[in-house]
Structure 1
Amino acid sequence: MVDHEDVAGLLGIDGPFARELPHFAPRAAQQAMARAVAEAIAGRDTLLVEAGTGTGKTYAYLVPALAAGVRVIVSTGTKALQDQLYFRDLPRVRAVLGARVETALLKGRANYLCRYRLEQTLREGAALSPAGAAQLAAIRAWSARTRHGDRAELADVPEDSPLWPQVTSTAENCLGSGCPFFEDCHVVKARRAAQEADLVVVNHHLLLADLALKQEGFGEILPGAAAFILDEAHLLPELAGDFFAQHVSARQLLDLGRDALAECHGVHGALGALREPLEALKDAVRRLRLALDPLPARGAFGVLMRDAQARQALDALAGTLAALTDVLAGQAARSRGLEHAHARAATLALALDRLIEDDAAQAVRWYESSAHGFTLHATPLDAATPLRRLREASGAAWIHTSATLTVAGGFDHFARQLGLDEPPALALESPFDYARQALCYLPPGLPDPSARDYTERMLEAVLPVLEASDGRAFLLFTAHRALRRAAELLRGHVPWPLFVQGEAPRHRLLEDFRASGRGVLLGAASFWAGVDVAGEALSVVVIDKLPFAAPDDPVLEARLQALAAAGVNPFMGWQVPAAAIALKQGAGRLIRDVHDRGVLVLCDPRLTGKGYGRLFLASLPPLPCTRELAKVRAFLTPRPVAA
């Protein structure tokens, strides 16, 4: 174990990183964070760290994690960040420190090839398009040579290919130790490696699934950790609410039917017994989906229950699922696969009954429908209590870090969401010189964001900025409708290449945007966070409105009612802080490097016209603001290069 001060010194001007990494720049904020993380790990304490962009927080937690001599779990917000951490950052830090520790990368089971389901898919010989047949052939060839079975290895098959769900397993359809490929299972091997490692890199989805004991017969895969380090921790509260919830979806039910049908292969008489109840289930799912058509796309469960046709279809689905469960019970002893199908059916039937009958005050029941399916939910009103229980039961250090945890300098909102009472916290400013590198423009004269022509008026205000920057901009929208309208207004009327979310995969849009050098990218939710475009390709970020959560969200509506009942102002106590953190995420796309320069355009007039607007501005990095277009043009004018 290394002393706390020594840990900070490793990242200092005389430390090994400064000596061995050519572009490493010692930063006081990074050293302060490393010292605090080391102390938290040693004391098994809870710690919140907001580390502004450019702080170098990854090294600031990896160095003390590797030096602590204890078992550490590092969790990231996304699989992309997980791969970056494991394959790029962790090897560099290990090499510099000469750390002799076992490390492991662990993802959710849907990321690993399932040999059993691949064999089933090949055996069934389902009708595939030429592209699908080529993808299946590629997967089959890859399956013979892969050591880890991680989908990310196979770039030839798109991430959204419909073949992946057919050749990977889920919690419901995994056969566990009864699978004929159990000892050669990629998931089993990955989990065994994780159990034996000193440092394991996971993602929040997997971490929460394991801690919530949803590990489908494999037992705990992250036992005995002395510290949990959660990067991109601002994502945790929403994800936790999802993992402590119950869901029954059309996809789960249809997958059950398809898998049960496949398990009839080679079992004499099983198909005859199951064909009719399986067709009935498929029909019941279709009828409920159609019954939801006249209703809003998402809403409280009461909306569904008060509609006679939808309620009748829901009850019919529950009855059909119960009947299928009974038939599967009679077939379960005939094969391991049918036994597992029966267990899945019974679990789904129980969950559906609870959703229909249970009106517990601590959970919000709601539904959502799409073009091809539906999901029924029971989401806990407050994830803080189960999160607190998990932390206390672990007896470990819990370090939460992100560039966006505070609102106007305070951690209160984030801490309340996690069930933390005045935890130790550290706010570290970015080393970037925002006064020189950035400018915030608040366009004057815009109407209220609810105005029918708001998007048109917003674009009129933004176009002169785009002309001054020659494109090179992100336009971020709080609603897909506004994004589509903006794309319609700009396409064919501006000289810059347009890249519109939804018209190509996200990674392709970003690659093409960077390559264009002067593009304009229009994005919604998934472009507000985790997007890194450094350099001159991005010089302007425009945000159309303050990112308040949709008011028709039934979970939010119930949460706000509960806060009001507890004497808390739901708008200032929840909606404003949540939107301020989201705005910080969007604004954080602008300056990603010490050499970047750019303009942040915040179009919402409520920033200056409402009292709470000051809280939003106070939550942003310390960049100068202006309402004068001339200053924006001057800032974006290329500066002459000194002779």
Structure 2
Amino acid sequence: MTGPGEAAEWLGDDGPLANAIEGFRARLPQQQMAAAVAQALEDQDTLVVEAGTGVGKTFAYLVPALLSGRKVIVSTGTRNLQDQLFHKDLPLICRTLGLSVRCALLKGRSNYLCPHRLRLTAAEGPQLEARLHAPLRLVERWAAGTRTGDTAELSQLAEDAEIWPRVTSTADNCLGTECPEYAGCYVLRARRRAQEADLVVINHHLLFADLALKDEGFGELLPAAEAFILDEAHQLPEVAGSFFGVSLSARQLLELARDTVSEQVNEAPDMPQLRERANGLGKAVKDFRLAMGEGMRRAPWPVLAATPGMDEALQGLRAALESLAEALAVAAERGKGLEGCARRALDQMQRLALFDGPQEDAVQWYETWTRTFSLHLTPLDVAGLFRQHRGACDSAWVFTSATLSVDGRFDHFNRRLGLGVPRGLQLDSPFDYATNARLYIPSGLPEPNDPGYTTAMAQAVLPVIEANPGGTFMLFTSHKALQAAAAWLSRRLDRPVLVQGTAPRQELVARFREAGNGVLLGAQSFWEGVDVRGRALSCVIIDRLPFASPGDPVLEARMEAIRREGGSPFTSLQIPQAVIALKQGVGRLIRDPDDKGLLVLCDPRLQTKSYGRIFMKSLPPVGRVRDLDQARTFLQGLGEPSCPQA
């Protein structure tokens, strides 16, 4: 096993990576992080590391992990980073360091083709919805040649394509060892590779699904792990909340009804009552959605449950589900497919029963979309649950992200995950923000709750966008404000305006990068993960401080719990979460040592409220421009050989 000092040396100017990778430059923060990770692995300790943009945290934890000789699980926040680690970073490091470490990639079931469900879907023939015929043919052609069954291989179909749930499995509908296609199961193959590997790359959803005993594919893997490295760790509290809770969606109910029909044709063609009761459940799901009202909402369930007609709709849904469950109990002996459907029906009845009355230490809430819905039961506090599950694994734990601290401390993150007082390391970005970036706060804007705020904000930043020779990235805290600003700016800008929702995210970012001087407007998911280097992104505009919506049912319940204990939810929950979100958005500006750009924060509360100081302290050490003229001068200078000082 390699010690902390040696791990840092591998990343030095004279190390093998510097000699083998063109453009590689030794970075002291990266070496410091590598040494700290190596020490945590050696001591089986817990380490929390905030590594600013440009530190190179991926190599800083992969190098000591690969050299440690231990069984290591690396968990990421997104499948994109998961694929990058496995297909690009790990092979590069192993090849450069001359290591023969067995590495494996493991995703959740829904990321792998299920040959059995593909066969069932293909057997539907003319009964299959016409819009699914062409995607199904694409899947069938790909299925004939794939070795891994990883749906990411079929790039012609979007991640959320409607066909995928029909040809992949879930823990609910998987037949396990009774599946007729068990020998060719891609999930099983991926599990075996993971069990045999020294380093396994997973994602947070898969990690928590396993910790919460919601089988997603590798129950035998976690106990064997000697170390866990969790990248993009700022996402963990929210992911933990969803997986330690319970949910029931229209999609799950409708899939049960659809699978019952498919299995009835396959295993019990003489039992047409199964089809009738499955159709009855489908109708009850639609009636329940209608009773929930129009529009897209996210709100507390008890309030909706008390509205006229809702109890009747709930009883109708329960009766239809019970009716199908009774029929499936009789039919279960006819085949493993129907037996699985019977088991799922009972499980869904149990989940639905959780919404009959209030639940202790949890919040009941719901979401509606145009045609579908989901019911959720989320624990108010995940710290105790995560501490309990983590304690069952006698391992080292490393948590890292570019955004974990608030006001220079990890207290908020540690408290939310129940980490106690672990080792902490805060590493600033090595990028020269003082030279390459400036901050501009427009003056004279109304308070963000003013009805005219979005228009005033757009008017204030229009001359900034026009002066920018490169691309402008605008981040919004709500889709309503985004759409209003997009409509106002589109009529006044003579450059490409790209708006979230008009195309898939990856396509929008690619078009923005290619345009060179475009304006990309995004909310929520665009605040992190967007990586555009060079002049194509030389200005980031944030419309207001990213406080979570006060109407969010989970946030409301957690705030009320803090009040009951005599605390201040604003200072202990809302501000820390907003600071971390702001840091993510600001991190989009400088992605490379040579990047230059202007950060525009439009919210006047940064200067008028006492808590503005906490947000300002969270920003990189950028210089300030005092007015619009200086902001324009700085931007115009980005096209010059040398950037003028403001």
TM-score bucket (shorter structure): over 0.9
Helix, strand or coil: the match of 2:144?
Answer: helix
Shift in CA distance, 554/130, structure 1 to aligned 2, threshold 3 Å:
closer
Q: In the alignment, is the contact (CA less than 8 A) between 1:261 and 1:271 conserved in 2? A: no
Please give the alpha-carbon distance, in whole angstroms, between the structure 2 residues aligned to 1:129 and 1:369.
24
In structure 2, the gaps of 5 or more residues are: none
Check if 1:582 corresponds to 2:585: no
Equivalent residue number for residue 187 of structure 2: 187
Equivalent residue number for residue 285 of structure 2: 285
Please give the alpha-carbon distance, in whole angstroms, between the structure 2 residues aligned to 1:199 and 1:113.
24
Amino acid aligned to 2:321: L
Helix, strand or coil: the match of 1:356?
Answer: coil
Shift in CA distance, 640/487, structure 1 to aligned 2, threshold 3 Å:
closer
Equivalent residue number for residue 614 of structure 1: 613
Helix, strand or coil: the match of 2:137?
Answer: helix
Please give the alpha-carbon distance, in whole angstroms, between the structure 2 residues aligned to 1:62 and 1:182.
34
Equivalent residue number for residue 57 of structure 1: 57
1:324 deviates by 1.3
How many pairs does the alignment contain?
Answer: 641
Equivalent residue number for residue 35 of structure 1: 35
CA RMSD of aligned residues (A): 1.5
Please give the alpha-carbon distance, in whole angstroms, between the structure 2 residues aligned to 1:155 and 1:203.
20
Please give the alpha-carbon distance, in whole angstroms, between the structure 2 residues aligned to 1:156 and 1:640.
41
Q: In the alignment, is the contact (CA less than 8 A) between 2:7 and 2:63 conserved in 1? A: yes
Check if 1:533 corresponds to 2:532: yes
Amino acid aligned to 1:530: G
Q: In the alignment, is the contact (CA less than 8 A) between 1:117 and 1:166 conserved in 2? A: yes
Equivalent residue number for residue 257 of structure 1: 257
Q: In the alignment, is the contact (CA less than 8 A) between 2:440 and 2:631 conserved in 1? A: yes
Helix, strand or coil: the match of 1:427?
Answer: strand
Equivalent residue number for residue 385 of structure 2: 386
Helix, strand or coil: the match of 2:309?
Answer: helix
Please give the alpha-carbon distance, in whole angstroms, between the structure 1 residues aligned to 2:349 and 2:143.
35
Out of 319-328 and 594-603, give the one that drifted further.
Answer: 319-328
Please give the alpha-carbon distance, in whole angstroms, between the structure 2 residues aligned to 1:214 and 1:114.
19
Helix, strand or coil: the match of 2:364?
Answer: strand
Q: In the alignment, is the contact (CA less than 8 A) between 1:304 and 1:311 conserved in 2? A: no
Equivalent residue number for residue 499 of structure 2: 500
Please give the alpha-carbon distance, in whole angstroms, between the structure 1 residues aligned to 2:56 and 2:283.
54
Out of 520-529 and 618-627, give the one that drifted further.
Answer: 618-627
Please give the alpha-carbon distance, in whole angstroms, between the structure 1 residues aligned to 2:155 and 2:298.
35
Amino acid aligned to 1:328: L
Amino acid aligned to 2:419: L
1:315 deviates by 1.8
Equivalent residue number for residue 23 of structure 1: 23
Shift in CA distance, 20/315, structure 1 to aligned 2, threshold 3 Å:
same
Q: In the alignment, is the contact (CA less than 8 A) between 1:2 and 1:67 conserved in 2? A: yes
Please give the alpha-carbon distance, in whole angstroms, between the structure 2 residues aligned to 1:290 and 1:611.
46
1:130 deviates by 7.3
Check if 1:160 corresponds to 2:160: yes
Check if 1:421 corresponds to 2:420: yes
Please give the alpha-carbon distance, in whole angstroms, between the structure 1 residues aligned to 2:189 and 2:387.
31
Out of 184-193 and 491-500, give the one that drifted further.
Answer: 491-500
Q: In the alignment, is the contact (CA less than 8 A) between 1:250 and 1:375 conserved in 2? A: yes
Please give the alpha-carbon distance, in whole angstroms, between the structure 2 residues aligned to 1:292 and 1:57.
46
Q: How high is the TM-score relative to the length of structure 1?
A: 0.97
Check if 1:520 corresponds to 2:516: no
Paired residues for 1:295-314 under 5 Å: 297-314=297-314
Q: In the alignment, is the contact (CA less than 8 A) between 1:234 and 1:404 conserved in 2? A: yes
Shift in CA distance, 228/126, structure 1 to aligned 2, threshold 3 Å:
farther
Amino acid aligned to 1:462: V
Out of 445-454 and 622-631, give the one that drifted further.
Answer: 622-631
Equivalent residue number for residue 631 of structure 2: 632
Amino acid aligned to 2:202: V
Helix, strand or coil: the match of 1:173?
Answer: coil
Q: How high is the TM-score relative to the length of structure 2?
A: 0.97
1:282 deviates by 1.3
Equivalent residue number for residue 77 of structure 2: 77
1:38 deviates by 0.5
Amino acid aligned to 2:178: G
Shift in CA distance, 156/411, structure 1 to aligned 2, threshold 3 Å:
same
Q: In the alignment, is the contact (CA less than 8 A) between 1:471 and 1:520 conserved in 2? A: no
Paired residues for 1:584-603 under 5 Å: 584-603=583-602
Shift in CA distance, 248/30, structure 1 to aligned 2, threshold 3 Å:
same
Q: In the alignment, is the contact (CA less than 8 A) between 1:366 and 1:377 conserved in 2? A: yes
Helix, strand or coil: the match of 1:74?
Answer: strand
Amino acid aligned to 1:594: P
Q: In the alignment, is the contact (CA less than 8 A) between 2:583 and 2:619 conserved in 1? A: yes
1:216 deviates by 6.2
1:599-620 deviation per Cα after TM superposition (whole angstroms, max 9, x unaligned): 0000000000000011001011
1:270 deviates by 4.7
1:142 deviates by 1.3
Check if 1:246 corresponds to 2:271: no
Check if 1:479 corresponds to 2:478: yes
1:269-326 deviation per Cα after TM superposition (whole angstroms, max 9, x unaligned): 5542213321221121111111110698222121122113011111221122112111
Check if 1:331 corresponds to 2:301: no
Equivalent residue number for residue 542 of structure 2: 543
Helix, strand or coil: the match of 1:122?
Answer: helix
Helix, strand or coil: the match of 2:69?
Answer: coil
Amino acid aligned to 1:363: A
Question: Identical aligned pairs, as a percentage?
Answer: 53
1:467 deviates by 1.4
Q: In the alignment, is the contact (CA less than 8 A) between 2:299 and 2:366 conserved in 1? A: yes
1:128 deviates by 6.2
Please give the alpha-carbon distance, in whole angstroms, between the structure 2 residues aligned to 1:85 and 1:343.
37
1:349 deviates by 0.4
1:574 deviates by 0.6
1:144 deviates by 1.3
1:543 deviates by 0.3
Q: In the alignment, is the contact (CA less than 8 A) between 2:7 and 2:64 conserved in 1? A: yes
Q: In the alignment, is the contact (CA less than 8 A) between 2:362 and 2:380 conserved in 1? A: yes
Paired residues for 1:72-111 under 5 Å: 72-111=72-111
Shift in CA distance, 640/601, structure 1 to aligned 2, threshold 3 Å:
closer
In structure 1, the gaps of 5 or more residues are: none
Q: In the alignment, is the contact (CA less than 8 A) between 1:210 and 1:221 conserved in 2? A: no
Equivalent residue number for residue 374 of structure 1: 373
Helix, strand or coil: the match of 2:265?
Answer: coil
Shift in CA distance, 81/588, structure 1 to aligned 2, threshold 3 Å:
same
Shift in CA distance, 118/568, structure 1 to aligned 2, threshold 3 Å:
same
Equivalent residue number for residue 46 of structure 1: 46
Please give the alpha-carbon distance, in whole angstroms, between the structure 1 residues aligned to 2:180 and 2:296.
45
Amino acid aligned to 1:451: D
Helix, strand or coil: the match of 2:603?
Answer: coil
Equivalent residue number for residue 237 of structure 2: 237
